[in-house]
Amino acid sequence: MTLLINDANQVITFQAEHNKPRTRQEMRALNIIVGGSVLIDEDRIVAVGTKESLQTLYPELVAKAKTIDATGKVVMPGLVDAHTHLVFGGTRENEFQMRLNGATYMDIMNAGGGIHATTKKTREASFEHLYEKTYKHLNDFLKHGITTVEAKSGYGLDWNTEEKQLQVAKKLQENHVVDVVSTFMGAHAVPAEFKENPDAFVDLIINEMIPKVAKEKLAEFNDVFCEKGVFTPEQSRKILLAGKEYGLIPKIHADEIEPYEGAELAAEVGAISAEHLLVASDKGIRDMAEAGTVAVLLPGTAFFLKADSARGRLMIDEGVPVAISTDFNPGSSPTISLPFIMNLACMNMGMTMEEVLTATTINAAYAINRGQEIGSLEAGKKADVLILDVANYQQLQYFYGMNHTHTVIKNGQIVVA
């Protein structure tokens, strides 16, 4: 199919001179075409520009294109959610009430709830149940304009269940229109059966799980919850380096609840991203800037845990490329609404509306190694395009807590209209 989106109030392209995540003032450079058009053929973007320029350069394609009128609207790349715990059994609204009554996230986890509660439910759930449940979540993501989602395992903590989660993600990648990018996160918690000997669980991840994930090509990334009482920096380093040997790119849940030099570790092991970073140190932030590690910030998690958000403003000013994601999971962030999370990034991390848009498109794409393929409207890239029913991009944050998605084009097909 050939599509021509015409007469948009603003086409936000995020075009840049280089193929790298955007830093500092680049995060504010949206490269907007006023009254712009986007020409799409099959699953690719052919060109962006004015209607006249596209007509001159591509008369044949323009002649056969189905036209979409975007008058009064904003056109931008599909949103990318670079951090979710997508596939899980059950829900944990009971813990929400416990936290409202004053319990902390870690108290609940240490008492056998939290990740352990979801692990139990995920172990019990059938493949089909998890598949159907997650399929619905992906429908919700899509309705909110998210066209690519990263998905972490980590509610199995035994091989069979980790594999089940990763296989569900794989089947969804094949069958659902939203792209699902997999991360192995066997090191999400130490399961009860290894409580007395956590190093034996680390060995199991390194010697058995990682090789199987790599052999069965079940994930591209390897993530660890590096946190006091979960995995130490030493254990995390071992796990991330072991994954690297098998071609799994390191990611890390770093400095979420207590400072633990997770940001420093991310830079040291060459992680593509460090995530959360609520209490990352000044040095950790500088190390990440120097290494080019993407900070995947999750202000919805801070909001839901009633914690202070990461220092997003400082990170950008220090030169760290910042992405923003939902952290969708049943405990600390049960929402798929990336638009709401974007608003929180403005409100609670001092980020500008422009920076937030960059953080949920091109920088989020780089956080999952897709920066050359998605995240901007540029010739040759995948045609994942949103049409938003707002007059300008600022209204996306200003009219907050609403879904402004009008049309979603995924792989060049209209999938939400």
Show binding-site residues for 4-imidazolone-5-propanoate: 92, 155, 188, 256, 332
Nearest Cα neighbor of 32 from 20, 49, 44, 53 is 49
Binding-site positions for N-formimidoyl-L-glutamate read 155, 329, 331
Judged by CB under 5 A, which stretch of 137-145, 309-317, 327-335, 404-412 contacts Fe ion? Answer: 327-335
Looking at the Cβ atoms of 305 and 388, the one nearer to Fe ion is 305
CA distances from 3 to 46, 53, 69, 202, 407 (A): 10, 16, 11, 50, 13
Looking at the Cβ atoms of 115 and 377, the one nearer to Fe ion is 115
**CB of 153 vs ligand NIG, minimal distance in Å:** 12
d(CA 366, CA 112): 35
Question: Which one of Fe ion, ligand NIG, none interacts with residue 114, CB within 5 to 8 A by kind?
Answer: ligand NIG
How do beta strands 32-41 and 44-50 pair?
antiparallel
Count of beta carbons in the 10 Å neighbourhood of residue 250: 26
Q: One symbol per residue from 256 to 285: x for binding ligand NIG (CB under 6 A), - otherwise; what is it?
A: x-----------------------------
Binding-site positions for Zn(2+) read 83, 85, 253, 327
Tokens read off for 91: 């829900």
Sequential DSSP letters for 204-265: HIIIIIHHHHHHTT--SEEEEEE-TTSB-HHHHHHHHHHHHHTTPEEEEEESSSS--SHHHH
Q: How many helices (H) and strands (E) does the chain have?
A: 18, 16
Residue 26 touching Fe ion (CB under 5 A):
no
Q: Which of residues 69-98 bind ligand NIG (CB under 6 A)?
A: 85
Looking at the Cβ atoms of 85 and 137, the one nearer to ligand NIG is 85
Residue 327 touching ligand NIG (CB under 6 A):
yes
What burial letters (b/e) apply to 272-282, b meaning 16+ CB within 10 Å? bbbbbbbbbbe
Q: Which of residues 280-319 bind ligand NIG (CB under 6 A)?
A: 301
**CB of 171 vs Fe ion, minimal distance in Å:** 22
The closest residue (CB) to ligand NIG is 331
Residue 327 touching Fe ion (CB under 5 A):
yes
Nearest Cα neighbor of 279 from 265, 261, 293 is 261
Sequential DSSP letters for 370-386: -TTTSSS--TTSB--EE
**CB of 216 vs ligand NIG, minimal distance in Å:** 24
Binding-site positions read 83, 85, 92, 155, 188, 253, 256, 327, 329, 331-332
Size of the site for ligand NIG (CB under 6 A): 13
Question: Which one of ligand NIG, Fe ion, none interacts with residue 326, CB within 5 to 8 A by kind?
Answer: none
Residues 6+ apart with CB under 8 A from 25: none
Binding-site positions for Fe(3+) read 83, 85, 253, 327
Judged by CB under 5 A, which stretch of 47-55, 60-68, 265-273, 326-334 contacts Fe ion? Answer: 326-334
Looking at the Cβ atoms of 78 and 331, the one nearer to ligand NIG is 331
Among the listed residues 58, 225, 231, 303, the single contact to ligand NIG using CB under 6 A: 225
Strands, DSSP E only, in 25-156? 32-41, 44-50, 66-69, 74-77, 79-81, 146-152
d(CA 263, CA 320): 11
d(CA 94, CA 190): 22
Residue 223 touching ligand NIG (CB under 6 A):
no
Among the listed residues 253, 311, 382, 406, the single contact to ligand NIG using CB under 6 A: 253
d(CA 382, CA 148): 11
Among the listed residues 9, 222, 329, 376, the single contact to ligand NIG using CB under 6 A: 329
Backbone phi, then psi, for 235, in 5-degree steps? -65, -40
Q: Binding residues for ligand NIG, per CB under 6 A?
A: 85, 114-115, 118, 225, 253, 256, 301, 327, 329-332
- The residues binding Fe ion (CB under 5 A) are 327
